[in-house]
């Protein structure tokens, strides 16, 4: 494959990508944004910290906070589903 052919193919793919992006609906754009956020490392870290805090609070690690969802953490299970 020559360099010219490769450049032409790259331009063609770039045009196809631009056309695809321009034809997307608002809901598709919003869905992609949500998926990108939910699939990010910060999102996972925040959820890990939230679940850890939930478990610690509800196992009595913090005496000044009354457990609201004792083991087996039925509310946490409901929230995760």
SS3 78: helix
Q: Could you tell me which of 69, 27, 12 has the C-alpha nearest to residue 77? A: 69
Listed by start position, the domains of the chain span 1-39, 40-81
What is the residue-level pLDDT of the chain in tens, covering all 81 positions? 688 999 999 999 999 999 998 899 999 999 999 999 999 999 999 999 999 999 999 999 988 999 999 999 999 999 887
Instruction: Specify whether the CB–CB gap between 58 and 77 falls below 8 A.
Output: no
For residue 63, the model assigns a pLDDT of 86
| Whole-angstrom distance, CA of residue 28 vs CA of residue 78 | 28
Q: Are 44 and 53 in contact (CB under 8 A)?
A: no
pLDDT for 1: 66
Token pair listed for 14: 């770039």
């Amino acid at each position: 494959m020559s360099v010219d052919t490769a450049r032409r193919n790259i331009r063609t793919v770039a045009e196809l990508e631009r056309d695809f992006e321009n034809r997307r609906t608002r809901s598709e754009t919003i869905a992609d944004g949500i998926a990108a956020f939910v699939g990010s490392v910060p999102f996972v870290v925040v959820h890990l910290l939230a679940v850890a805090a939930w478990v610690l609070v509800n196992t009595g690690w913090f005496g000044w906070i009354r457990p609201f969802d004792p083991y087996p953490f039925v509310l946490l299970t409901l929230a995760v589903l």
